[in-house]
Structures are given as C-alpha cells and as structure tokens.
Amino acid sequence: MIHVQGLDFHVRDVGGNRPALVFLHYWGGTGRTWDLVIREVAGRHRCVAPDLRGWGESDKKADSHDLHTQADDVAAIIASLGLSQYILVGQSMGGKIAQILGARRPYGLKGLVLVAPAPPVPSAAPTVQREAMLASYQSPAGVEFALSILTSRQLSPELRRQVIDDTLSGSPAAKAAWTQAGMTLDISDIVGNINVPTTVIVGDADKVETEPLLRRELAPRISGTEFIVLPGVGHLSPLEAPSELAAAITTAISKIR
C-alpha cells in the first residue's frame, strides 16, 4: 500500500530491472488484470501495477475520479517508488490516463505503450449507450453481457470470475465517472505534446476501440506513433492473449531503446 494524494493505493511491484513498466488498467479492471502479462516480462523489467482510485484494494472514499487527477495519482506513485526510468503501459481508460501524463513530459518517461486505448477525442457513444454501459457493471449478469462485447476469445472460468469480481467491487463513483465524464473528456489539444516513442497495440477483433479509429485519432496527433495489431483479439488483450500482448510490448520496448 502506498499513501499519496490523500489516498491509499494498492500496488503490485515485482522485478527490478530498468526501465520499469507502469501498467494502468481498464475501466472495471484492477492491477491484477495485468498479472499474466507481468509474469512474462518481470524477468526483464520492474513491473508496477496500481489499482486505480476506486478499484480493487485501493481507497474507495474519493469523490473525484477526474482523469487529470488520476494522472496525478500515477505520477505520485511513480515518485513514491523512486522510478527514474519508466514506460507507461495503459489499456483503454488507463490508456487515456497515460496520454494525459505523457503529455506533461514527466522526468524519467521513456515511452508509451497504449493497449486498445480510449482515444483523445470524446466518445461518440450517445448518452443512452453510456448509461447502458454503466448499468451493465452493476450485476454479474450485466458483466457477463459486457464480456460478450469486450472479448473475442473465450476467457477461462477463473478469469471470467476475476473480471466479474473486479468490476462489481469498484466504487459507484469510479464506475459512474468514466461513463459520465471520462469517455467524453477531450484531451486532443494536449496529446501532441507527447514527445516519447509511442506504440499502439490493438486487436483486430476489438469492438470497443477499433484499429481504424485509433489510427485516425492518434497517428496524426502523436508524432511517430507505431501500431501493432493482434489477430483475433478483442478489447481485453491482457486476459485474452497475454503471451501475444507481452511479446508485442517487448517489441515496442525494443524500439524505444
């Protein structure tokens, strides 16, 4: 547990080599979303995976879940751990937080790996669709339905239970903040400030953040952005295809170096 920003954050921290990889999870996930990926890369890198505010074992008492504030959280965790060289690896919501932090050009940041990231522009999803998304995160049956959209490959019963537990345990404020504000937050005016090597990893079966959408919204804004496409993979690549994702992350890191 790390106390920063007036909150207690549960953080997974394994391995010891630089640059460290700082993993930021999706809306509904926790730090353990990355466990299967970390297992494959921890021998080469220090891996840090916090439960973001309102999720997992981190504090659920916060009433603000603004993405800029969450970027502050991540920066404070990095500083508390004394990471002098690190790469942000953010998925979906975590990818948007990574873009915000990357745009600040913080000391020690060596690169960005954006995994099916939420784009910098506001979501085109209408209010009724965003309300339905939030409603699906309130019950096991709703999460099961969400999984039918989020995944292309079938998850094991154990991973399905993990997703359900992680989603349902999120604070009401954290769940609502993404659909009510995070998805529609426009950060397109700042992402052009990102000046480190950036790789976008996306599954070609992703129904949430598609490859054409991400190419259109990220490539023109972040100079030199490269793309790696995972065949047959949906939105939850850390759980659907951890080995393939770990290999893609390794490829992205090799280019950063």
Strand ranges for the chain from DSSP E: 2-4, 7-9, 11-14, 20-24, 47-50, 86-91, 109-115, 198-203, 226-230
Q: Which of 110, 84, 112 is nearest to 97 (CA)?
A: 112
Task: Sketch the domain layout of the chain as residue ranges.
Answer: 2-256
Alpha-carbon gap, residue 179 to 27, rounded angstroms: 9
The residue behind tokens 């690896």 is 89
Question: DSSP of 99-139, one letter per residue?
Answer: HHHHHT--TTEEEEEEESPPPSSPP---HHHHHHHHHHTTS
Q: 33 vs 125, 129, 167, 177, CA distance in Å?
A: 25, 25, 11, 20
C-alpha torsion 2→179→116→100, nearest 10: -60
Alpha-carbon gap, residue 53 to 218, rounded angstroms: 26
Alpha-carbon gap, residue 100 to 105, rounded angstroms: 9
Alpha-carbon gap, residue 112 to 104, rounded angstroms: 13
Alpha-carbon gap, residue 88 to 112, rounded angstroms: 5
Phi, psi (5° rounding) for residue 83?
Answer: -75, 115
CATH number of 2-256, picked from 3.40.47.10, 1.20.1260.10, 3.40.50.1820, 3.40.50.2000: 3.40.50.1820
pLDDT tens string for the chain (257 positions)?
A: 999 999 999 999 999 888 999 999 999 999 999 999 999 999 999 999 999 999 999 999 998 999 999 999 999 999 999 999 999 999 999 999 999 999 999 999 999 999 999 999 999 899 999 999 999 999 999 999 999 999 999 999 999 999 999 999 999 999 999 999 999 999 999 999 999 999 999 999 999 999 999 999 999 999 999 999 999 999 999 999 999 999 999 999 998 86
- For the record, the structure tokens of 134 come out as 């939030």
Q: What is the structure's pLDDT at 255?
A: 86
C-alpha torsion 35→147→130→180, nearest 10: -20
Q: What is the structure's pLDDT at 257?
A: 66
Cα angle value 159/163/169 (rounded, 5°): 140
